[in-house]
Structure 1
Amino acid sequence: MKKLSMFMLTVCSTIVFAQKISDYKYVSIPEKFETFKEDFGLKNFLTKALTGKKYITLPLIKDNWPTDAKNNYCNVVSANILNDKSLFKNKLIIQFKDCNNNTILESKGSSNIKEFEEGLQDALKQALIRVPVSNPVAILPASNNVVQQTSSDNISSASTESATTPEASNYSNGKLDLQKIQLDPNQFILAKSGSSVPFAVFRSTSKNSVFIVKLADGSATIGYFENGNIVIDIPQADGKYAKEVFTAK
């Protein structure tokens, strides 16, 4: 199992984190940019600029999102504008983050125009130069054909015989109580109730009941179903893995 963990971790590191902003169709924009006391027309400017680059902008509240965005929020990237304060210039930073709060793109802009509204919009225009035109792709499992390259001996502990797909939606390891939410046939998450950031995102592999897992801290590992429970190999500081079992409640 450890051999499989290391192999899949390597593949996951090179594929899962290779997502580009142009891979997305949807961008959510907050009602307010928290580091600015006023809007200065930034939200409207950003919305128009992204629309011009063929993105579909969405509000932060998910109630009116399109079905494919609402059913799988990993199809949506979140935009934010940060005030990069300076005495002599209007400066800002635009960030785009995925559903796991990982930064996909960060770009800085500055302007010599001293008036706040005009200067900040000019700075945003400069920052948006690095944002490519949307060319969306389907978000597929990051592990296509990965497990097929390993021997069956390495995955015996997660074999079909011992794997039972859990039916319960609530799980606990004794310290954390998590809810299993199925996003689509190839992807589900474990999340704390009320949290906007998943504890773990599971993506299917070509091996039944074995998943590539992306944890909330950005680390990648594997998980699998075992006797009705969900198991995650948690990476340790010494490079080893600890088996974490989440039991159905």
Structure 2
Amino acid sequence: MKKTAILILTLSSLASFAQKISDYKYISFPAKFETFKEDFGLAELLTKTLRSKNYIVVPLDKLQWPSEAKDNPCNVLLADIINDSGFLRNKVVVKFKDCNDKEIQSIKGASSIKEYKEGFQDALKQTYTSISPANPIVQSTVQTKVQEPVISTQPVTNVSSLVIDNTAMKFSNGKMDLQKIQIDKSQFILVNSNSSSPFATFKVTTKNDVFRVKLQNGESTLGYFENGNIVIEIPQSNGEYFKEVFSKK
């Protein structure tokens, strides 16, 4: 029973930081979708759909990529449209994979329109609502399968049982004073001694000094060390980010 509980907690922790389409800014797809006899206007429609969701569509030729994508190819998500039609319905599957060929999401769409061009386009339109708007984060530059960092099997949701060490490193943004408490080698928290839950929980990524951050309000974002300070990118209602800097006291 105890092992089962630990497994559930571990999976929950990993799931909360799983990659999503919205983690990316750039998306590329092939000039020809191999499972279709012709284009049927799908490339143009997919391009319009992605751009409406604030993604930047780049060609498959890496020489034509913007410098940000060239410097880190893992910032580019690879999309493909698969013909999944049955006897009576035109069906498509839109697949998104990362630079390590790992599938991030697969979205299905179907149409009862029998004509190929209209039917395939209608099926592709059905996937629109399942594609979240771009909300990019920095991706790992490693283009090989990397081992996931070890995540504590005891996620920090309440700090009332922790002993607050007065000698622990303290940080402030001018409005609040927080203490940095190292939970284990893969995560630490920023905590206000007057609160029963952490202000932010930091988990390591494959990039040094860059962390996936879970805020007190449940939002996920990015954090990093900069000149000895802790920086958190705070999501705003307009989709932009505010740089919150906590200086070491």
TM-score tier (shorter)? 0.5 to 0.7
Which deviations, in whole Å up to 9, do the C-alpha atoms of 1:140-171 show, x marking residues without a partner? Answer: 69759999825xxxxxxxxxxxxxxxxxxxxx
- 1:57 aligned partner: 57
Indicate the structure whose relative CO is greater, using CA pairs within 8 Å and at least 6 residues apart: 1
Q: How does 1:141-156 map to 2 (within 5 A)?
A: 149-150=184-185
38 and 72 in structure 1: CA distance in 2 versus 1, 3 angstrom threshold = same
The yes-or-no answer on 1:203 pairing with 2:238 is: no
What are the residue-to-residue correspondences of 1:72-87 with 2, within 5 Å? 72-87=72-87
CA deviation string 1:40-95 (max 9, x = no partner): 00000000110011000011111110111111111010000000021111101000
Q: Which residue does the alignment assign to 2:221?
A: none
**1 or 2, which has the higher helix percentage?**
1
TM-score by length of 1: 0.52
Partner SS state of residue 135, structure 2:
coil
Q: CA deviation at 1:100?
A: 0.6
Does the 8 A contact of 1:145 with 1:205 survive in 2? no
CA distance in 1, matches of 2:35, 2:206: 35
Unaligned residue ranges in structure 2 (runs of 5+): 1-9, 142-147, 153-181, 186-204, 210-249
Query: AA paired with 1:19?
Result: Q
Q: Tell me if 1:29 matches 2:18.
A: no
* Structure 1 residue 204, shift from structure 2 partner: 4.1
Alignment of 1:203-222 (within 5 A): 203-205=206-208
Change (3 A) 1:148 1:205: farther
Offset of residue 97 of structure 1: 0.3
- Structure 2 CA distance for partners of 1:106 and 1:17, relative to 1, 3 Å: farther
Q: Deviation per CA, 1:14-54: give whole Å up to 9, x if none.
A: 27971110010000021000000100000000001100110
In structure 2, the residue corresponding to 1:203 is in which secondary structure? coil
Secondary structure of the corresponding residue to residue 206 of structure 2: strand
- CA distance in 2 between partners of 1:145 and 1:102 (Å): 21
Partner of 1:228: none
Q: Is the 8 A contact 2:82 2:92 kept in 1?
A: yes
3-state DSSP class of the match of 2:95? strand
Q: What's the Cα RMSD here?
A: 3.1
Contact 1:74 1:99 in 2 (8 A): yes
Q: Is the contact made by 1:23 and 1:134 (CA closer than 8 Å) also made in structure 2?
A: yes
Shift of 1:107: 0.5
- The one-letter amino acid paired with 2:111 is S
Across the two proteins, how many residue pairs are aligned to each other? 146
Opposite residue 149 of structure 1, the aligned amino acid is D
Percent identity of the aligned residues?
49
Verify the 8 A CA contact 1:143 1:205 in the aligned structure 2. Answer: no
**Moved segments of 4+, more than 6 Å:** 144-148
Q: Is the 8 A contact 2:140 2:207 kept in 1?
A: no
Q: Any stretches of 5+ residues in structure 1 without a counterpart? A: 1-9, 151-201, 207-249
